[in-house]
Amino acid sequence: MNNSQVIIFGEVLFDCFPDGNVVLGGAPFNVAWHLQAFGVSPLFISRIGNDIYGETIQKAMADWGMNLSGLQYDQFYPTGIVQVKFIDNEPSYDIVENSAYDFIDFSMLPNLAENSILYHGTLALRNSISAKTLEKIKTDISPSIFLDVNLRSPWWNSNVIKSLLKQTSSLKLNEEELSLLITEKKDINEAINYLFSTYPLNNITLTKGKAGAIAFTRDGISKQISPSQNIAVIDTVGAGDAFCSVLILGMLKNWDISTTLTKAQEFASAIVERQGATTNDKSFYASFLKE
């Protein structure tokens, strides 16, 4: 396995439902959780509040064996939450502003290895403090950057994301996100070619929901995968995060594009057959490590 340190930067939060149920998540946290189960031991960089939610996150990470040195503690701002509401049976989300993860402090970071893979999304960059911290990390250690586009209205800006793409080597996004970012190209292949010609990307993974995913490389290789038709979908939350975690695992294990894409689709499919974006069952992960 490649010995690169994996750094996961971004939000950890709780989804709070009208019935009082709360679910731990956040895309970066979910990715870090999966990678820990895969034996990668990522460094998860985020910030939590001095509250019961923060205590719950700290305990969950410790019980899972995760490295806590990148987890910061905020005495003023609360742990992130998302208020979930249902209008005509359709969910709507209030991603509460001024949460602890909006204020990740560069001065509180542990030592970071230069030979690193840095994963980040876009939500945690809505505040300038966390955004500047991420920029300083990139400047200091020049990592290989994996960008997971996750557009959450109103917390994204096209110009900001296009600026991030100038630093990115691996990109993952879905069809809707592609169309929102590359409005001048209606055809998927044209949009992908535009991204490769405009930014220093080495590979792009486009997820297509029930239709699977396509992986593209700068040298013109593309592979498509479709999920089994026998999947009993219980909950699609976190499917993209599951997919990302295996894409990173494939980078570390030097899997070829076909192997990585197949395993990523299999793992995402297994996740949607369960309730929630993660699981505490370590045996669940074992079969996905076989080469």
**SS3 of residue 71 by DSSP:** strand
- At 287, the pLDDT band (50, 70, 90 cuts) reads confident
Instruction: Please determine, for residue 107, whether its predicted confidence score (pLDDT) is greater than 70.
Output: yes
Q: How many Å apart are CA 122 and CA 252, to the nearest integer?
A: 23
3-state DSSP percent of the chain in helix, strand and coil, to 5: 40, 25, 35
* Mean pLDDT of the chain, nearest integer: 91
Instruction: Please determine, for residue 228, whether its predicted confidence score (pLDDT) is greater than 70.
Output: no
Instruction: Please determine, for residue 231, whether its predicted confidence score (pLDDT) is greater than 80.
Output: no
Please spell the DSSP secondary structure of 39-50, one letter per residue.
Answer: T---EEEEEEES
Domains and CATH numbers, the chain: 5-281 (3.40.1190.20)
- At 209, the pLDDT band (50, 70, 90 cuts) reads confident
Q: Return the pLDDT at 92.
A: 74
Q: Return the pLDDT at 230.
A: 66
Q: Which of 11-20, 89-98, 155-164, 227-236 has the lowest mean pLDDT?
A: 227-236
- At 12, the pLDDT band (50, 70, 90 cuts) reads very high
- Inter-residue contact 246 to 267 (CB < 8 Å): yes
- At 193, the pLDDT band (50, 70, 90 cuts) reads very high
Q: Which residues of 39-53 are buried (b: 16+ CB within 10 A; e: fewer)?
A: ebebbbbbbbbeeeb
Report which of residues 287 and 214 the model is more confident about: 214
For 43-86, how does the pLDDT look when each residue is reduced to its tens digit (9 = 90+)? 999 999 999 999 999 999 999 999 999 999 999 999 999 988 77
**Quick count: other Cβ atoms within 10 Å of Cβ 197?**
9
